[in-house]
Amino acid sequence: MDHTHLKAARQFIDAIPHSRRLGMVMEDLTDGQAVISMPYDEALIGDPVSKVIHGGAVSALMDTAGGAAVMAHPKAGIGTATLDLRIDYMRSATPGQRITATATCYHVTRSVAFVRATACDDDTQLPVATATGAFTVIKGKASS
């Protein structure tokens, strides 16, 4: 089985400067699914009193995981960009804990891919945030 799309997805994520700056790590990548984590970093605190990570960092993590899930889908093509991402914040992430986003690309058309994602800290039963999104599908041939 040809897994060039998985290799392209890994390269895509590694090339994004903000994902490197935020310390994002690709934990798992399979056909249409990406799991990316981000460590707790005091530089990302949004509230100095509670020490909670800023929602923008969580948003970036979920967006990156969504893009990776699209890139990892065998029918999605060689590139993607976010068209729409709706995030519902359920609660604050627990200070000091790594946040992990799991995104699944569940449907691909000729030009749009659809994604669902969840972000959790150590408590995987109660998500920090959930998201749904639409991403562009850029067709072409991936380089090997």
Contact indicator for 99, 123 with CB cutoff of 8 Å: no
Residue 138, SS3 per DSSP:
strand
Match 């562009």 to its residue by tokens.
136
Domain ranges of the chain: 4-136
The arrangement of secondary structure in 4-136, i.e. its CATH architecture, is Roll (3.10)
Which ranges of 29-137 would DSSP assign to H, the alpha helix?
55-71
Q: What is the pLDDT along the chain (144 residues), one digit of tens a residue?
A: 456 666 766 776 677 778 888 899 999 999 999 999 999 988 888 888 999 999 999 999 999 999 999 999 999 878 899 999 999 999 999 999 999 999 999 999 999 999 999 999 999 999 999 999 999 998 765 544
* Residue pair 133/107 in contact by the 8 Å Cβ criterion: no
The pTM (predicted TM-score) of the whole model is: 0.89
